Amino acid sequence: MAHSHKQSHHHHHDDGGHHHHSVNPLVKVAQALHLPGFTHDHSHADLAADRAFLDNRLAVRTVWIALIALGLTTALQIVIYIASGSVALLADTVHNLGDALNSIPLLFAFYVARRAANKRYTYGYGRLEDIAGVFIVISIGFSAAYIIYESVQRLLNPLPLENLEWIALAALVGFVGNELVALMQIRVGRRIGSDAMIADGQHALIDGLTSLAVLIAVVGTLIGLPILDPIVGVVIGFAIVGITWNAIKAIWYRMMDAVDPHLVEHVEAHARGVDGVDEVLNLRLRWVGHRMYGVMKIAVPADTTLEASGEIVRAVQHEASHVIPQLEELIVEVVQSDT
């Protein structure tokens, strides 16, 4: 006998970004701006019936805010470029514009994911989110290559920086704008279980660091050490290579239906703790976008009635939903233990 039940209303361990007091001033700014992931209003969502809908709505709002914030950051940098005429700043501004546009595939994926499952796409359209993640990872890789190439060129052919005060202002704008977006996207991505959004947040984090590198270049020029600019650029470039590798692994795992083995063990342990469960024979879990689906086979005593089996199944599903807040569906198959 097999039982299935949709899990969509448990919401206890999902806050990837904890609400403990932080000394990070950017976190304080994000809270003041009521950015998604930094507000305390999601407790009302516990009362709602459809967790998947709430997660999708939060995701769409987050990406829209990220797109607008990065767009405004780029617009400010364009104004500063026109005032300063710095070619180096133009390159950074164009790069930021490209990254703002990088959020569009993710936004498209979240909108399409709202479509209902059908007989062709029986799991719905959530996987499109992971495909968008592939494009984001490729974009992060290009960022790393671009920054390393530009930095090496600067080492070989040093260029004096002009209009330092304008460049410093643009760098500060780029840093704050990108870091706020990064904090928001990474926090929300962890909360809803979206590796693609986390990757997009990591990209914004990188861009904030590159803007900070421009600020270090300005300081280097002021103190008579212009070589600081390309050196910091190379260091950041190789740091991005590391971030790229981690993002590639995360998206690869999603595309290959891989999950954290500790998560599987955790769910199995909770299931074994349910009265009437003799053993967990098998458990398979898979992500589809930021929702998780599972199939579990459990053994119960030979004299367990059909009604008792149903109670055991519901108890197992209830436990699993506490371990995995993003659990959309867990199908539990029951077999009787050999006597």
CATH class of 261-336: alpha beta
- Which pLDDT value is given to residue 206? 82
- Checking if the pLDDT of 43 tops 50, the result is no
Other residues' Cβ atoms within 10 Å of the Cβ of residue 24: 10
- Characterize the bridge pairing of strands 327-336 and 279-288: unpaired
Mean pLDDT for all residues in the chain: 81
CA distances from 148 to 11, 155, 238, 247 (A): 43, 11, 7, 19
Of all residues in the chain, the percent with pLDDT exceeding 70 is 81
- Characterize the bridge pairing of strands 291-300 and 279-288: antiparallel
Query: If you average pLDDT over residues 202-215, what whole number do you get?
Result: 82
Q: What are phi and psi of 286, to 5 degrees?
A: -150, 145
CA 6 from centroid of its chain's CA atoms: 24
Confidence label for 6 from pLDDT (cuts 50, 70 and 90): very low
Look at residues 15, 26, 8, 13 and name the one whose alpha carbon lies nearest to residue 188: 15
The larger pLDDT score, comparing residue 309 to residue 150, is at: 309
The larger pLDDT score, comparing residue 152 to residue 299, is at: 299
Mean pLDDT check: name the lowest of 11-20, 192-201, 257-266, 317-326. 11-20
Query: If you average pLDDT over residues 220-226, what whole number do you get?
Result: 81
Residues whose CB is less than 8 angstroms from the CB of residue 338 and which lie 6 or more positions away in sequence, other chains included:
302
Q: Supply angle C-alpha 11, 126, 6, rounded to 5.
A: 45
The larger pLDDT score, comparing residue 31 to residue 308, is at: 308
Mean pLDDT check: name the lowest of 8-12, 164-168, 229-233. 8-12
CA 291 – CA 64 distance, rounded (Å): 21
What sign has the CA pseudo-torsion 320, 323, 324, 325?
positive
**pLDDT per position as a tens digit, 103-142:** 899 899 999 998 999 999 999 999 999 999 998 888 888 8
Tell the CATH topology of 50-255: Alpha-lytic protease prodomain-like (1.20.1510)
- Which pLDDT value is given to residue 288? 92
**pLDDT per position as a tens digit, 234-281:** 887 787 788 888 889 989 999 999 999 999 999 999 999 999 999 999
- Which pLDDT value is given to residue 324? 92
Parse the chain into domains and list their residue ranges.
50-255, 261-336
The larger pLDDT score, comparing residue 211 to residue 38, is at: 211
**pLDDT per position as a tens digit, 63-118:** 999 999 888 888 888 888 787 766 656 766 776 777 778 789 989 999 999 899 99
**pLDDT per position as a tens digit, 284-300:** 999 998 899 999 999 99
- Checking if the pLDDT of 177 tops 70, the result is yes
Confidence label for 9 from pLDDT (cuts 50, 70 and 90): very low
